[in-house]
Amino acid sequence: MRIVVLAGGIGGARFLRGLTSAVPDADITVIGNTGDDIHLFGLKVCPDLDTVMYTLGGGIHEEQGWGRADETFTVKEELAAYGVGPEWFGLGDRDFATHIVRTQMIAAGYPLSAVTEALCARWQPGVRLLPMTDDRVETHVLIDDPDAPADGTPARKAVHFQEYWVRLRAQVPAHAIVPVGAEQATPAPGVLEAIAAADVILFPPSNPVVSIGTILAVPGVREAIAKADVPVVGLSPIVGDAPVRGMADKVLAAVGVESTAAAVARHYGSGLLDGWLVDTVDAGAVADVEEAGIRCRAVPLMMTDVAATARMAAEALKLAEEVRA
C-alpha cells in the first residue's frame, strides 16, 4: 500500500510513528512542510522536516516533541556570549550539526530534497521524506506593529512564523498568514509523482493553516490531491473545540475558521477531503461534517502513546477503505 502523508512538525511526526507501527510494510511518502524553515546564525533550519526525521529515526526529545534527546546547549550559550541571537530559538549542539550539514550541502548546490535524503541516510526514518518544495517559502504572520506611531494609526508588520510562534507564543493577534514565496514555488521532485501513485492520502492532525495549509499552497499540490482518484482522509487536530497541542486556534482565527473539528473539515472542503476523523468528544460534529459531503467517524484521537496513535492511523485507513468502496 502506497500512502502519502502531508505533515507538519510534532503532530505529523507522532502520527507517522503510529502509522508506521500500524502498517509497517506500507510504502509511505511524507510531504513535509518547509514554510517554517528559518535562517538562524547563517544556518538553514528546517524544524518540521527535522522533527519528522528525528521522531521516526529515534533521535527526538520525547517529552518536548522537537529537538534532540540528550541535548546540550554549549554553542547557543557561546553565541549569546558574543551577543549573537536570537536567544528565543532553542538550538542545541546536536541539532546544530544537522543544520551545519544542511547549510554546507545547500551552499555546495544540492537542493533541499537531496539534502533531506542525505540526512535521512543517517536516521533511516522508514518513510520517504520529501520537502514540499526545494524553493524558499517562508510563512509570515501579520501582527500589530508594537512600534506603531502613537497617533493611533493602526500599523501592522509581518514577522517570520517562528517569531510569532516561538518568541511571541502566538499571544498577539494574527491578522493574516502569508506563505511568502509559495506562489512561485514548485513541488519538490517526487511530490506530484508520489501523490499520483498513492493508494491513500492522509492529513495527520497537523496544523491546518501553517502546516498542511502551507503544503497545499505550493501550486500543483492541492490540485494533484483533489484530482487523485484515491481516498483522502484527515484527522482533526481540534478536540473539544481546542487544539490538542500547539496554538492552531490562533492561526485558524486569522483565516476566519472556527476552532472546531467540523469547521476544519469544512475548511479543507469536500473537494479535497473524502473522510474525516473527529474525536469521540466531538461525536456531535459527525453529522455536520457529513452534511458537507465528507464521510466522518468519531474515534479516540489522543496520541497518548504509539499504540493509541497506531489505532488512530488504522481508523484512518479503515475510513479510507469505506470511502473507496
* Annotated binding-site members: 50
Strands (E), 181-314: 200-203, 232-235, 238-239, 242-243, 275-278, 295-298
Cα dihedral 192, 197, 203, 204 sign: negative
| Residue placing its CB nearer to its own copies in the complex, 84 or 287 | 84
112's torsion region: left (phi>0), alpha (psi -120 to 50) or beta? alpha
Q: Phi and psi at residue 310, in whole multiples of 5°? A: -65, -35
Supply the minimum distance, in Å, between the C-beta of residue 259 and its own copies. 39
Least separation, in Å, of the C-beta of 176 and its own copies? 29
**Rounded to the nearest whole angstrom, what is the least distance from the CB of residue 243 to its own copies in the complex?**
32
Residue for grid cell 530534497:
113
* Closer CB to its own copies, 78 or 183, in the complex: 78
Q: Which is nearer to its own copies, 53 or 265 (CB)?
A: 53
| DSSP-derived secondary structure for 161-173 | HHIIIIISTT-S-
- Residue 308 C-beta-side C-alpha neighbours within 13 Å: 9
* Nearer to its own copies among residue 68 and residue 295 (C-beta): 68
Cell 501523490 -> residue: 195
In terms of CB distance, is 42 or 146 closer to its own copies? 42
* Interface residue list for its own copies (CB under 8 A): 41-43, 72, 74-79, 81-84, 93-94, 96-98, 100-101, 103-104, 107, 118-119, 121-122
Do the Cβ atoms of 290 and 266 come closer than 8 Å? no
Q: How far is the CB of 49 from its own copies (least distance, A)?
A: 15
CB of 39: closest distance to its own copies in angstroms? 9
